[in-house]
Amino acid sequence: MATKKEINKYINMDWSYTVEKEDGYFIVYVNELPGVCTDAENIEEAMNEIKDAIAASVELYLDQGKEVPIPINKSKFKGNISYRTSAERHYALAKIAQQQQRSLSKTIDTLIDDGLSKIRISNRHC
C-alpha cells in the first residue's frame, strides 16, 4: 500500500494541465495522467480538486506496482526536430503550405496540432 509520503512526492510535481470550460464548469485534465480530471464551478476549486484526483491516481499506480508517469521537463526541448519523409509527402505538404500561404514548418505544426487534439480527446475519460 502506498504511503502518504510517496503520494505527496508526486502531488507536488510540475504537472501540466488542460483546462476547458463547458456548461458553466471548468474541467481540468492532467496531461501526463490519462483519464485524470475533475470539474468545478470555478477554476480555483477545480485546481484544488485535481490534487485529490492526482493523489488517487498515483496511489492506484503504486498499489498496482506500475510506474507513475511523471511530468516532462519542458526546458529540455528546444523545438528542433529532424524529420525525414518521402518525396511525395514533402511535395504534398509544400503544396498545402503554398495554398494556405504559410511556411512549411507552420503547416506541419498545424497538422500535428490537429492530430494531437484528436488523440487527447480520445484518451480523455473523466
**Domain CATH number, residue 83:** 1.10.1220
85 and 52 in a single domain? The answer is no
Closest by CA to 47, choosing from 76, 22, 16, is 16
List the domain range (segments joined by +) for residue 116.
78-123
Query: Is the residue at 72 inside a domain?
Result: no
The count of domains in the chain is: 2
Edge-to-edge strand list for the sheet holding 17-22 = 17-22, 25-30, 37-40
Task: Kindly give, in sequence order, each residue whose CB lies less than 8 Å from that of residue 39, ignoring residues fewer than 6 positions away.
Answer: 25, 26, 27, 28, 46, 126
Q: Are residues 82 and 59 in the same domain?
A: no
**Full pLDDT tens readout for the chain, 126 residues:** 888 998 999 988 999 999 999 999 999 999 999 999 999 999 999 999 999 999 999 999 999 999 999 988 778 888 888 889 999 999 999 999 999 999 999 999 999 999 988 886 666 666
